[in-house]
Structure 1
Amino acid sequence: MTHPPLIQTTALSKSYPGVLALDAVDLDLRAGEVHVLFGENGAGKSTLISMLAGSNTPSAGNIQLNGETVSFKSVADAQKVGIYTVFQEFSLIPTLTVAQNIFLGKEPKRGPFIDHRAMRTKAAAVFAELDFDIDPQALTAGLSRAQQQMVEIAKAFHGDLSVLILDEPTASLTDREVDHLFDFIKRLKADGVGILYISHRMQEFARIADRITVLRDGAKIGTVNMADTNDAALVEMMTGRSISEIYPKIAKRDGEVVMQVKDLRAPRLHPASFEIRAGEVLGVAGLVGSGKSRLFRTIMDLYPRTSGSVTFRGRDISRAPTREIIQAGVYYLSPDRKHEGLDLAKSSNDNLAVNPMMARLDERLRGFVNWSAVRAATDVTADKVELPQGYRPKLVSQLSGGNQQKVLFGKAFGQPVDLYIFDEPTVGVDMGTRAALYMMIKELAEAGKAVVLISSDLPEVLNLSHRALVFAHGRISAELDGESMTEELILKHFFDETGATA
């Protein structure tokens, strides 16, 4: 006897005024499998899972659970039948403890009172099973983003699970934490739980995926078995373009040394020495926590420097504050766009206008801002990063992750810059947006600018860089270029304890 899928959608659609967000999508999730939902930002992934999670209602089509048609009016309705969702945007209450957040609305009781001891004990047991190092009594507001992600995951795992939906669950986790999560996912599979998994990280699919469904422009392109596909095929299904069209070939110019770093040392970093040249893309690769970002944040005076020197365009900036380093012509794009890169309470136009506005205080207007010049410059920048016209007056908080990243890139073009440091520039960004950002990197390098590309995405480093620094355990373990820049050799140096050059 063939069992029906755990959950199945038939011609599921969602319409908004003037927009068909999801177009008659058929999807099924089986017991004991990981089914990846793959597609660009705006492909319909979030719309689909919102209806399965109970936070949205379909305009047409239906959802079946174990062969029975179901309808959810709320997230709580879905949870009652065993469907739990960990959304990309957290739902934690910062003023509550970790344990209180996990059991919110389902607190264990002792008579009429909440049993706080039992709540802490059960929360600790969940974290122990996940192998997450979190204190159940800690205030949620004091946790890092990665720790908050772990708490969101733990909220789902303490329930009576039948279907688990994970939306970009590894975006803020270290490699060690990802390993623990994947181990637990494998245990859930063995227990018959069906897992719907959304991620842009194709390197994860081979580790956990059984099947992959690709969406594009709200429609289903197809479903494939993981064993029968590869990255190139998935990219072409998702974007309609071959993978060779995603990564552009960047011509190298043998320019002058723009920045020289000598024996730079900082907490948890060994002394580092290297040069950055105009017209090249210097890739910086390493596992999360290897020190690759910390070194460049130290250069930008965002972390304390212990010793060593940094020279930029012949000027010693070792002790210069961040503002002076930026004014000298160094732009640093933070991996945390929401907390360090963008003002979410302002529009895209206002975010893009910050730097042009500083540069366009017209002395003839006696200190008043020349708003006409600012708006003209903002439009030029928005066109350059391919930000759609309709998104420009919107609050940045209302944009997709890909369009937020375009705004962040755009901020780099409002001031004179000789060195661009892009730190994890495509985290949580789909392939279509990546292709646009990669073209900007190509244009910058070929215009003679120096570009540093710090990335945990190894294909990104291999395909875009002329030279690569590999980090491991807080030190540069290798400097590679030309034919020595291979995936096998870079991975070898990820775990190098001593440091090497090639």
Structure 2
Amino acid sequence: MTKRFRGIVALDKVDFSLEKGEVHALLGENGAGKSTLINLIAGTFPWTEGAYSVHGHSLSHLTPQVAREIGIAAVFQEFSLVPDLTVLENLFLGREQSRGPFLKRSDMRRAAGELLDELGFHVPLDETVAFLSRAQKQMVEIAKALRTHPQVLILDEPTASLTDGEAEKLFDAMARLKARGVGIIYVSHRMSEIRNLSDRVTVLRGGKKIGTVTTADISDEGLIEMMVGRPVDQLFPKIEHKPGDIRLEIADLTTAGGTVIDASFVARAGEVVGFAGLVGCGRSELCRAVFGLEPITSGTVKLRDKVVERPSPSAMLADKVCYFPADRGSEGLALIRSVRENTTMSSLGLPSLSTGPFLKFWRERDVIRKPLTDLALRPMALESKVSAFSGGNQQKVMLARGLMQPFDVYLFDEPTVGIDVGAKVDVYNLIKELVEGGACVIVSTSELPELINLASRIYVMHEGRIVAELGENERSEAQILPHYFGGTA
């Protein structure tokens, strides 16, 4: 398969095959060609050159409708749900069951309920999709795809919005589909998922196929080297931690919803402090509470020995605290606005960008170019909408906003979620640069190797409480993981 967009080669003579009853993973950096390939397979747009066959029958062209008719279903990162319709209406949209002019609502409700029960997804059928959480929308998308009984199922980062428990239910459903002979194309940046779920892996880099391997025959390190073209030991930079004065001190902090209970910790200049724990343990809520996004019922927040009476985002920004949310799509970025506008939106009061109430709009492009270059944004299309960029590049735009002015404390919540290994390296190098420049960096992540390799100290949370603090010589997985479940190492 070859695909060109306006003369740009997005996919260059890539071969790919999917067998009955296998899970075939696609692995590659953002921009490697994964999305282009699965869109070709799903009929979203035509290929420029190449040959395509399904069940041994060659096809000269493909559309989404034809793909569905021959048994191909896709669940993409961007949802295709109608927000003003209910869950039930979305599940049957375009394929309603009827008798004459009348909808068979009871039959549709029964079928939808059975499907959601089989998947283990708890989503109210009569709820309007606009009011669902992102995780619930992901569940509806998956259920919608499976309702057509596909022979080929494409899953593009399906667990990015799911908790560990919800993801396990999806994996169980995948195992049942595989046993029925359904072929599954699985796109993920999570190496553990690829290792545990897939039979084969195809690695793409720069629009070209690097190779297809049997998952059991290659190590994680080997897959990463195929993907990025360099050994895995070069992924994490060596950070020189030089802990100095206390920048942030939290004492007995409890949030209104009880998601954080009596949390206390300190973070110093010149060090990375990590927060570990399962999804839902309270580490994200703790970061949000410190920045003023979660109401606090008791406890104190101190910045440089000064108590912050009522933390709020505006007050914390003024006190040189920067927060990067875990969900860049809904909280971190204005997706319909340009890269330029997203990068400068919290820095418009800087003298370099404004005089009094007047914006120096002609200076914006010059001012933002350095932070975006430092983060290796590709392409450097400053007037393009952020929604047009890959997940890794969207993350870089959000991070560039924090480089527009100096901060004393940086709060990173899941800084590498949904981005490829190459983009992760850029984020790790940013953290190194900030810490060695004297900043205090706090990283909350579900990726334990990141904390082991980046942090000088790690706090572990369980059910809203900090249950352990681990120093430099206590940061192996064997020492950390027991605390995830409230135990001791």
Given the alignment, which residue of 259, 282, 285 partners 1:291? 282
Matching of residue 255 in structure 1 with residue 244 in structure 2 = yes
Contact 1:356 1:378 in 2 (8 A): no
- Counterpart position of 2:233: 244
Shift of 1:371: 3.8
TM-score normalised by L of structure 2: 0.96
Shift of 1:356: 3.5
- Counterpart position of 1:346: 337
Aligned-pair Cα RMSD in Å: 1.6
Given the alignment, which residue of 418, 425, 433 partners 1:435? 425
Contact 1:361 1:369 in 2 (8 A): no
Map 1:38-187 → 2, pairs under 5 A: 38-187=27-176
Single out whichever of 61-70 and 144-153 deviates more from structure 2. 61-70
Map 1:440-455 → 2, pairs under 5 A: 440-455=430-445
Query: Relative to 1, partners in 2 of residues 1:197 and 1:388: Cα closer, same or farther, differing over 3 Å?
Result: closer
**Structure 1: segments with no counterpart, 5+ residues:** 1-11
Q: Using the alignment, how far apart are the partners of 1:444 and 1:321 within structure 2?
A: 23
- Counterpart position of 2:404: 414
Find the residue that maps to 2:12 and give its secondary structure.
strand
Contact 1:357 1:374 in 2 (8 A): no
Given the alignment, which residue of 405, 414, 429 partners 1:424? 414
Shift of 1:60: 0.9
Map 1:352-371 → 2, pairs under 5 A: 352-360=343-351, 367-371=357-361
Q: Using the alignment, how far apart are the partners of 1:477 and 1:16 within structure 2?
A: 52
Q: Using the alignment, how far apart are the partners of 1:390 and 1:359 within structure 2?
A: 23
Q: Using the alignment, how far apart are the partners of 2:75 and 2:65 within structure 1?
A: 13
Find the residue that maps to 1:298 and give its secondary structure.
helix
Contact 2:324 2:412 in 1 (8 A): yes
Letter in 2 for 1:398: A
Contact 1:44 1:216 in 2 (8 A): yes
Shift of 1:72: 4.5
Matching of residue 473 in structure 1 with residue 463 in structure 2 = yes
Matching of residue 231 in structure 1 with residue 220 in structure 2 = yes
Letter in 2 for 1:338: G
- Counterpart position of 2:260: 269
- Counterpart position of 1:281: 272
TM-score normalised by L of structure 1: 0.94
Contact 1:360 1:369 in 2 (8 A): no
Contact 2:340 2:364 in 1 (8 A): no
Q: Using the alignment, how far apart are the partners of 1:297 and 1:105 within structure 2?
A: 41
Q: Using the alignment, how far apart are the partners of 2:42 and 2:161 within structure 1?
A: 22
Q: Using the alignment, how far apart are the partners of 2:133 and 2:178 within structure 1?
A: 29
Query: Relative to 1, partners in 2 of residues 1:145 and 1:50: Cα closer, same or farther, differing over 3 Å?
Result: same
Given the alignment, which residue of 162, 165, 188 partners 1:199? 188
- Counterpart position of 2:304: 313
Contact 1:387 1:407 in 2 (8 A): yes
Contact 2:221 2:231 in 1 (8 A): yes
Q: Using the alignment, how far apart are the partners of 2:217 and 2:353 within structure 1?
A: 61
Q: Using the alignment, how far apart are the partners of 1:389 and 1:202 within structure 2?
A: 26
Q: Deviations over 1:89-136 (max 9, x none)?
A: 100000101011011111111232111222122111111000001111
Shift of 1:319: 1.4
Letter in 2 for 1:442: K
Contact 1:360 1:370 in 2 (8 A): no
Q: Using the alignment, how far apart are the partners of 1:361 and 1:256 within structure 2?
A: 30
Q: Deviations over 1:393-431 (max 9, x none)?
A: 211111111111111000001223100001111111111
Single out whichever of 379-388 and 454-463 deviates more from structure 2. 379-388
- Counterpart position of 1:8: none
Q: Deviations over 1:229-288 (max 9, x none)?
A: 121111100010111111111111021111111000112322111100111111111111
Query: Relative to 1, partners in 2 of residues 1:112 and 1:349: Cα closer, same or farther, differing over 3 Å?
Result: same
Contact 2:365 2:382 in 1 (8 A): no
Q: Using the alignment, how far apart are the partners of 1:355 and 1:303 within structure 2?
A: 20
Letter in 2 for 1:278: A
- Counterpart position of 1:490: 480
Q: Deviations over 1:301-347 (max 9, x none)?
A: 11111101010112111413221011101100011112211122221
Contact 1:86 1:167 in 2 (8 A): yes
Letter in 2 for 1:40: E
Contact 1:210 1:225 in 2 (8 A): yes
Q: Using the alignment, how far apart are the partners of 1:193 and 1:368 within structure 2?
A: 59
Q: Using the alignment, how far apart are the partners of 2:356 and 2:274 within structure 1?
A: 44
Find the residue that maps to 1:232 and give its secondary structure.
helix
Q: Using the alignment, how far apart are the partners of 2:120 and 2:379 within structure 1?
A: 46
Q: Using the alignment, how far apart are the partners of 2:343 and 2:365 within structure 1?
A: 9
Find the residue that maps to 1:31 and give its secondary structure.
coil
Shift of 1:373: 4.5
